[in-house]
């Protein structure tokens, strides 16, 4: 591995590349399409490739590693202070070179395809849960206008609405009945999707060494967890995210991913 550093401002279609051999000096710059950037990685001698840990960065990091390069993913908050002028692709790439020179930089670990797939499952589940909650709240709000108050708790909504639709004297206007029926069918479909994805996550959690270690943590596995079905989901969520402080000896906890460390 030589001392050459390649900073890449990752984008959807055009990549800004800055190549440096000496600290603080940019030897050459390139603006490359996705296909040309892939060829650039394949043809360039092994070097240190520096990218910001943003969308699609892990994919390109894995490709660069497969081409023999060393990859450093810079957290966005660590790269931002080094962009000295107006934010452009060129200044972003130069900022990455400067951030890489910081000895206190803590790179983001490159995610495997499996980790990203698990994270994707969690994103889909979160989206469907939010959609279900929105539909249930809409049903509550609509029926409240007709004097119908549904008890607290998401599990009360669908049975209550179904009972109202079956009772022709419940005071629900006929104009609304078909649409309300469609809404509760949609909620049922969302719940089936959520259950299916939870089964996938539970299956994925079982063979993982990290998941077995997390079972010993109160509130995640073993005692102290009131929702048994939530435990494998929490374990595999932590496995899929970049929570490297659980597995890296000298890593520093990150508090910007929904996990709070106290004490």
Q: Which has more pLDDT, 137 or 217?
A: 137
* Beta-strand runs (E) in the chain: 5-9, 14-20, 28-33, 48-52, 70-74
Q: Which has more pLDDT, 205 or 45?
A: 45
CB 218 within 8 A of CB 193: no
Run of H or E residues at 154: helix 154-166
The arithmetic mean of pLDDT across residues 27-40, rounded, is 94
pLDDT of 178 strictly over 60:
yes
Run of H or E residues at 74: strand 70-74
Mean pLDDT over each residue of the chain, to the nearest integer: 82
Question: How far is the C-alpha of 12 from the C-alpha of 88, rounded, in Å?
Answer: 15
The arithmetic mean of pLDDT across residues 66-95, rounded, is 89
The arithmetic mean of pLDDT across residues 247-251, rounded, is 42
Q: Can you give the pTM of this predicted structure?
A: 0.73
The arithmetic mean of pLDDT across residues 238-242, rounded, is 53
The arithmetic mean of pLDDT across residues 41-66, rounded, is 94
Indicate the pLDDT class of residue 84, thresholds 50, 70 and 90. confident
Low-confidence winner among 13-17, 113-117, 231-235 (lowest mean pLDDT): 231-235
């Amino acid at each position: 591995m030589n001392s050459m550093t390649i900073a890449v401002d990752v984008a959807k279609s055009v990549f800004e590349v800055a190549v440096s051999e000496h600290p603080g000096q940019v030897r050459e710059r390139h603006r490359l399409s996705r296909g040309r950037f892939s060829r650039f990685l394949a043809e360039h001698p092994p070097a240190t490739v520096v990218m910001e840990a943003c969308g699609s960065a892990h994919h390109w990091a894995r490709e660069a590693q497969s081409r023999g390069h060393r990859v450093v993913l810079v957290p966005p908050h660590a790269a931002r202070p080094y962009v000295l002028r107006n934010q452009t692709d060129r200044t972003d790439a130069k900022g990455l070179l400067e951030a890489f020179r910081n000895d206190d930089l803590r790179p983001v670990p490159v995610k495997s395809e499996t980790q990203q797939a698990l994270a994707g499952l969690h994103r889909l589940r979160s989206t469907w849960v939010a959609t279900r909650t929105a539909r249930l709240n809409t049903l509550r709000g609509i029926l409240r206008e007709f004097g119908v108050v549904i008890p607290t708790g998401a599990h009360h909504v669908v049975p209550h609405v179904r009972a109202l639709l079956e009772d022709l004297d419940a005071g629900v206007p006929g104009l609304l009945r078909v649409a309300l029926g469609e809404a509760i069918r949609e909620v049922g479909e969302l719940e089936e999707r959520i259950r299916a994805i939870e089964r996938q996550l539970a299956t994925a959690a079982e063979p993982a060494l990290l998941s077995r270690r997390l079972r010993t943590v109160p509130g995640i596995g073993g005692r102290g967890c009131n929702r048994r079905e939530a435990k494998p989901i929490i374990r595999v969520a932590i496995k899929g995210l970049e929570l490297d402080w659980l597995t890296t000896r000298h890593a520093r906890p990150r508090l910007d991913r929904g996990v709070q460390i106290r004490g």
